[in-house]
Amino acid sequence: MKEDFDIYGDVTIFDTTYRMNKYNLICAPIVGVNSHWKNVMFGCAFIADEKIKTFEWVLSTFKKSVGGSEPASIFTDQDLAMSVAIQKVFPHSRHRLCIWHLIKNAVSRFGALKRDTTFKDAFNKCLTGCVTEEEFEHCWTNMITTYKLENNKWFKRLYSLKEKWCTALSKDFFSAGILSSQRSESANNAVGFKANKNTSLTDFFKIFKQTVTRWRNNESDTDVKCSNSKPTSNLPFYGMIKHAAEVYTQTIFRYFETEFEFSIGCVTNLHYQTQGYFFYEVKLENNEASKQKVTFNMADNSIACSCKNFEEVGWLCYHCIRVLQQHSVTKIPDRYIIMRWTKYVKAHVWRRRDEESANERIPIKYIPWRQIMARKGYNLILKCQQHPETKNLIESELK
């Protein structure tokens, strides 16, 4: 688990949604996302309450166990005590609130608006549909005014926490494309489906261990599949698509392929050029809402987009891909390939294990003597196996 955290611990999900009924303990798994975008377990705590001191103990103990590292983003539910603990233990991490919980809590406060699909669309737009801060502020103000929510305390408080849940305000922080702590809940479901109110703590741990083993086996099988086969595609395997198939896992390749397909339908408009720098506006054909600003430096093939898709999820957006194609860049620049999404993310782990096993190997000069003695010993055992006195003698001498 420590090894997995070293590789995938940049994004962590911590939740407390599963309660063990027999002891009334709360199960709090700490979960991440591996290179195939599947659950990976970093740790698990059993706690008696959800107070600030308890969460501080859990997080500080976990931090110590992983060598003092802090995740770039940590997702939780809307819990004040947890928020205070995270700020103290992980001061450099970006605390994000679970959007799934926000929607669930908001539904209970919608009242007559529950049946208004236009309101739900407006609310969801504020949660995840805005790209820039200006767009979010406009959508939020428009929603509050249209549906007369100016004096609603819950929405006021929600707005005061906007940096923790609005995707438009968190694009500078890597989140691996996660929007909620539902990954932790899926972990709870995976652990808890066999447990019931009579399950003891030791039995629960066995179930937990079986779940982690199953996840790891699935990851190993997928690793082998990625290493020994190439993904299929309707696009010809040339240029960046070929490169993406070589470096990314098949899951991430699909995401990159989707961006590549969108890039084919993009229109570029060069606004300004100076000293090897190019400033573009890129959008999908006949789609003004998709327009973004892209800056490209020909000297080192560096590129940046106002949508900040790379900063947020770790692979290039279709705006950037379109501009790179326009400048005949046929490979994804190295700086835009994040190791955690590649096929060889664990190569250094395997290399270290090979080196350790190599150090443990017996020198070649001892092998002949070992084989001779093994054969002699085996022959002696075969001759003595039917004679109790000789068996006892050999056993006592070996001791």
Write out the two tokens for 188: 């709870």
336 CB neighbour count, 10 Å cutoff: 15
* Three-state SS letters, the chain: CHHHHHHHCCEEEECCCEEECCCCEEEEEEEEECCCCCEEEEEEEEECCCCHHHHHHHHHHHHHHCCCCCCCEEEECCCHHHHHHHHHHCCCCEEEECHHHHHHHHHHHHHHHHHCHHHHHHHHHHHHHCCCHHHHHHHHHHHHHHCCCCCCHHHHHHHHCHHHHCHHHCCCCCCCCCCCCHHHHHHHHHHHCCCCCCCCHHHHHHHHHHHHHHHHHHHHHHHHHHHHCCCCCCCCCCHHHHHHHHHECHHHHHHHHHHHHHHHCEEEEEEEEECCEEEEEEEECCCHHHCEEEEEECCCCEEEECCCHHHHHCCCCHHHHHHHHHCCCCCCCHHHCCHHHECCCCHHHHHHHHHHHHHHCCCHHHHHHHHHHHHHHHHHHHHHCCCHHHHHHHHHHHC
Tokens of 239: 């240029």
CB 113 within 8 A of CB 189: no
Convert the pLDDT of each residue in 357-394 to its tens digit.
666 666 666 777 877 888 888 888 888 888 999 999 98
Least confident of 183-187, 219-223, 388-392: 183-187
pLDDT of 106 strictly over 80: no
Residue scoring higher pLDDT (105 or 86): 86
More confident residue, 349 or 294: 294
Cβ atoms of residues 249 and 343 within 8 Å: yes
- The mean pLDDT of the chain is 87
- Distance (Å, rounded) from C-alpha 154 to C-alpha 136? 18
- The pLDDT value given to residue 214: 92
* pLDDT band at residue 140 under the 50/70/90 scheme: very high
Residue type, 96: R
pLDDT at 370: 79
* Cα–chain center distance at 240: 24
Owner of token pair 């086996």: 217
- Domain 1-98+180-228: give its CATH code: 3.30.420.10
Q: Lowest mean pLDDT of 9-18, 183-192, 270-279, name the range.
A: 183-192
The residue with greater pLDDT, 186 or 278, is 278
Average pLDDT over residues 338-360: 76
What tens digit of pLDDT does each residue of 242-265 get?
A: 999 999 999 999 999 999 999 999
Task: Give the residue among 93, 97, 91, 90 at the shortest CA–CA distance from 15.
Answer: 97
Domain ranges of the chain: 1-98+180-228, 110-176, 239-341, 362-398
Region of 291 please: left (phi>0), alpha (psi -120 to 50) or beta: beta
Question: What is the average per-residue pLDDT within 262-290?
Answer: 93
Predicted confidence (pLDDT) at residue 160 exceeds the cutoff of 60: yes
Q: What is the mean pLDDT of residues 176-197?
A: 69
Using the predicted structure, report yes or no on whether residue 193 has a pLDDT greater than 60. Answer: no
Would you state the pLDDT for residue 15?
80
Say if CB 82 and CB 162 are below 8 A apart.
no
- What's the confidence (pLDDT) of residue 155? 87
Mean pLDDT score, 150-178: 88
User: What predicted TM-score, i.e. pTM, was given to this entire model?
Assistant: 0.80
Strand partners of residue 157 = none
Q: Reply yes or no on whether the pLDDT at 348 is more than 70.
A: no
- pLDDT attached to residue 188: 66
User: Six-digit token pair at 49?
Assistant: 């309450």
Specify which residues 282 forms β-bridges with: 268, 292
Q: Could you report the per-residue pLDDT of 23-73, keeping only the tens digit for each?
A: 778 888 899 999 999 999 999 888 888 899 999 999 999 999 998 989 989
Q: Which two tokens stand for residue 29?
A: 């798994």
CB 14 within 8 A of CB 74: yes
What is the model's pLDDT at position 363?
Answer: 67
Rounded distance, CA 194 to CA 190, Å? 8
